[in-house]
Amino acid sequence: MLAYSAICDRVAAAYAVPPTVQVDDDIRASIAAFGDETWVFIPGTTDFAGWRDDFSAVPWPFPAVGWCHEGFAAKGLELWRGIAPRLPATGRLGIGGHSLGGGLAQICAAMNAYEGRSPCRLVTFGSPRVAALWNVALGRLIGAALEAVGFEHRGDPVPDVPTLPPFKHVIRRRTIGKPLGFPLSTADHALALYARDLRAEHS
DSSP characters over 90-113: SSEEEEEEETHHHHHHHHHHHHHH
Asked whether the predicted pLDDT for residue 12 surpasses 90, the reply is yes
What pLDDT does 48 receive?
47
What pLDDT does 54 receive?
55
pTM score of the predicted model: 0.94
In angstroms, rounded to a whole number, what is the distance separating the alpha carbons of residues 4 and 20? 22
Average pLDDT for 22-45: 93
Q: How many domains does the chain have?
A: 1
Which one-letter DSSP state was computed for residue 173? E
User: 57 or 150, which is more confident?
Assistant: 150
Q: Which domain holds residue 53?
A: 4-201
For residue 23, what is the domain's CATH number?
3.40.50.1820
What pLDDT does 56 receive?
64
Start-to-end CA distance of the chain, whole Å, equals 17
